[in-house]
Amino acid sequence: MKAKLYFFLKSYFGFSQRESRGLVIVFPVLFLLYLFPSVYDWMLRKKNEQQYEQYLGKIDSLIQAGWQPYNPNPNFSNETFNQDTSKNRINYQRPKSPQLNKLLFNEADSVVLQIVPGIGQTMAGRVVKFRENMGGIHHKDQLLEVYGMTPEVLERVFEYFEFHPEIFRKLAINQSDVSSLAQHPYINYGAAKVIVAYREQHGFYTQADDLLKIKIFNEEWLERLKPYLEF
């Protein structure tokens, strides 16, 4: 049998006769070492189970003999303990997070605006510039005209700031020159030139609807600009 095993190891693995003998001796030892932890755990668990069963047997015997667990204070029951602890229990509550002061939107500068998630330094600068050039904001949706502003960010703006419609500077349309008119976001340079040219030819405007006499302007354009006009 050994001769066949040596021949097999030599033919298939190239072991010498000495190496084959060493492997035959070492392999069973390695196998036993591999099994040893499992066998040891099984024996230890078996021993613990036996000891636990003996312990339960002793407890059962004592109870049958009339044994009662020792109570150092017979006048103190579990019910009394539960009542006492319920009286002295402190109801802890999570403290409320402090709220920041809400400023008026028209008073917020480009630094303070950056508290709004989604508004960085560049966007804050655009918002302030738009508000100042407009002369104030009379409707929240106007901020959507700021480049890069989204409805989601706009909604968050007024979670941090109070909004009150306010126009703090109006456009004196009968006194302003082309450059002054063109600074307003709702009037481009070409429209400003036409407004001034018509005024010079026909005299001062008396009401907003006079601008509709200039055929390039329409009611939609005028309705947006009208709150900012001063005559």
Which tens digits make up the pLDDT trace of 162-178?
999 999 999 999 999 99
State the residue for tokens 């904001």: 137
Residues 202, 230: Cα–Cα separation, whole Å = 18
Residue 28: per-residue pLDDT:
76
pTM of the complete model: 0.53
pLDDT at residue 29 is higher than 90: no
Residues 230, 228: Cα–Cα separation, whole Å = 7
Specify whether the backbone of 203 is left (phi greater than 0), alpha (psi in -120 to 50) or beta.
left
Residue 20: per-residue pLDDT:
65
Residues 201-227, mean pLDDT to the nearest whole number: 95
Residue 42: per-residue pLDDT:
83
Phi and psi (nearest 5°) for 136?
Answer: 120, 160
Three-class SS state of 230? strand
Alpha helices in the chain (DSSP H): 2-13, 17-64, 78-88, 121-134, 151-160, 178-182, 189-202, 219-225
Which tens digits make up the pLDDT trace of 83-109?
555 556 677 777 777 777 788 999 899
Residues 40-53, mean pLDDT to the nearest whole number: 82
How far apart, in Å, do the first and last CA atoms of the chain sit?
120
Q: At what angle do helices 2-13 and 17-64 cross, to 10 degrees?
A: 110
Which tens digits make up the pLDDT trace of 126-156?
999 999 999 999 999 999 999 999 999 999 9
